[in-house]
C-alpha cells in the first residue's frame, strides 16, 4: 500500500524534515508540497540538502485525491486553511501546529482531532481521521511525567528545559541570529509557555480529580536542535520502584526508553527517540528527558502517527542514526 500524501507549508523546518522522511519512507508517495512563497521552485532550492533526492517542485495548487494531508503551517493558520479548503471525505489530516491540540478547540466541521502522542493515545490514533501532533516541549516533558500521572503521584512539578534554535522556526528574529545565540543562553516565556495547556490536559486525563501545578521555565540554547528537560517532584517510591514504573509504562513503545545512566541530547538528535532517566535523592526525584525537537518533537512523531493511522509497523521509515559525534 502506497499512501498518497500532500504537505501544506513545506518551506519551513518541520516541512523540510517531513519531506526528508517521506521521500525515504517505503510506503509513502509524496504527491505535492504546497507553498505560496516558493511556488514553482524546486524543493532542493529551499531545502538544499535535497539536491539529487527529488525532482518535486513547490506548488500553490492543491490536489484532493490524496490519502493524507500534513499541515505544517504557522500556529493559527491550520484552522484558517481548513476553513478555506475543506478536506475531502477520505483524506486524513495530521496538523503540526497548536490549533487543535486542546480538547475545547479539537473540532472543525465533522472532524474530531485526536491528540497525537502515541505514548498516551496509541489506540485512538489508529482509528483517527485527524491528528493534532503534540508540541516539542510538550512531548519531551510528558514522556517524563506520564508514568507518574498514571500512578497518581503528581502534584507540584517544577520543570526546566532547554531547546535549540530550530525550535523558533525558520523566520529570523533577534534571538535566532547566530551572533545572538552563540555563547549565549536565555530564559523565555517563564511560566507562560504555550505548551502548558496540552501538558496539563494529558496529565489530568491520567490523574483526574487532582490539582496538578506545573511550573515551567524554558531556555533558549546555544545549539541548533534538541530538547533536554528536567522535572522535579516529591515522591516516596524507591529508585527501583520508579525504574520499574517507567519500564512497565513504556513496554511496547518502540521509541521511548529508560536509561539508568545519565542521559544527554546527542543520544537522540537526528532520531525519533525519547530517552528518559530518573534520579532519586531523599523525598525528591528528578525526571530527565531528551528528544530531537524536529523529529520526535514534530515531523518524526507525525510520521509515527501516520504509520499507526494506516496500519503500518510503527517504526517504518524512522530507523534513523543519531548524530553521536
Between CA 91 and CA 99 the distance in angstroms is: 19
Between CA 204 and CA 225 the distance in angstroms is: 29
Q: How many residues comprise the chain?
A: 325
CA atoms lying within 13 Å on the CB side of residue 187: 7
156: helix, strand or coil: strand
CB 291 within 8 A of CB 140: yes
Query: Residue 145: which of 218, 202, 101, 198 has the closest Cα?
Result: 202
Write the DSSP string, 254-280. Answer: TTEEEESS---GGGTTTSS-EEEEEEE
Q: Which residues pair with 25 in a beta bridge?
A: none
CB 245 within 8 A of CB 264: no
CB 266 within 8 A of CB 323: yes
Residue with cell 490549533: 99
| Beta pairing class for 58-59 and 28-34 | parallel
Between CA 137 and CA 187 the distance in angstroms is: 14
Between CA 202 and CA 83 the distance in angstroms is: 27
How many CB atoms sit inside 10 A of residue 130's CB?
24
CB 108 within 8 A of CB 190: no
Any catalytic annotation for residue 72? no
Exactly one of 96, 136, 154, 265 is catalytic; name it: 136
User: 197: part of which helix (H) or strand (E)?
Assistant: helix 196-206
Give me 258's grid cell. 529508560
Give me 270's grid cell. 537526528
Residues labelled as active-site residues: 136
Amino acid at each position: 500500500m502506497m499512501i498518497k500524501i500532500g504537505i501544506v507549508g513545506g518551506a519551513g523546518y518541520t516541512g523540510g524534515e517531513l519531506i526528508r522522511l517521506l521521500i525515504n519512507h517505503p510506503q509513502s508517495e509524496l504527491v505535492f508540497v504546497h507553498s505560496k512563497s516558493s511556488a514553482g521552485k524546486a524543493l532542493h532550492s529551499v531545502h538544499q540538502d535535497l539536491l539529487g533526492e527529488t525532482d518535486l517542485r513547490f506548488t500553490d495548487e492543491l490536489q484532493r485525491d490524496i490519502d493524507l494531508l500534513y499541515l505544517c503551517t504557522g500556529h493559527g493558520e491550520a484552522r484558517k486553511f481548513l476553513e478555506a479548503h475543506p478536506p475531502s471525505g477520505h483524506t486524513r489530516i495530521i496538523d503540526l501546529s497548536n490549533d487543535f491540540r486542546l480538547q475545547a478547540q479539537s473540532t472543525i466541521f465533522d472532524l474530531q482531532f485526536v491528540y497525537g502522542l502515541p505514548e498516551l493515545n496509541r489506540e485512538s490514533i489508529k482509528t483517527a481521521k485527524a491528528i493534532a501532533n503534540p508540541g516539542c516541549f510538550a512531548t519531551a516533558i510528558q514522556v517524563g511525567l506520564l508514568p507518574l500521572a498514571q500512578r497518581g503521584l503528581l502534584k507540584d512539578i517544577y520543570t526546566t528545559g532547554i531547546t535549540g534554535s530550530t525550535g523558533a522556526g525558520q523566520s529570523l528574529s533577534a534571538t535566532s541570529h547566530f551572533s545572538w545565540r552563540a555563547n549565549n543562553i536565555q530564559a523565555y516565556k517563564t511560566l507562560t509557555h504555550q505548551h502548558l495547556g496540552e501538558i496539563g490536559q494529558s496529565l489530568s486525563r491520567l490523574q483526574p480529580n487532582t490539582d496538578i501545578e506545573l511550573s515551567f521555565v524554558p531556555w533558549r540554547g546555544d545549539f541548533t536542535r534538541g530538547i533536554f528537560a528536567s522535572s522535579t517532584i516529591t515522591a516516596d517510591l524507591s529508585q527501583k520502584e520508579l525504574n520499574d514504573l517507567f519500564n512497565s509504562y513504556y513496554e511496547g513503545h518502540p521509541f521511548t526508553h529508560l536509561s539508568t545512566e545519565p542521559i544527554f541530547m546527542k543520544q537522540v538528535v537526528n532520531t525519533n527517540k525519547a530517552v528518559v532517566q530518573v534520579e532519586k535523592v531523599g523525598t525528591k526525584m528528578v525526571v530527565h528527558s531528551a528528544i530531537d525537537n524536529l523529529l520526535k518533537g514534530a515531523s518524526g512523531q507525525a510520521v509515527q502517527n501516520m504509520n499507526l493511522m494506516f496500519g503500518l509497523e510503527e517504526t517504518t521509515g524512522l530507523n534513523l542514526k543519531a548524530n553521536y559525534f
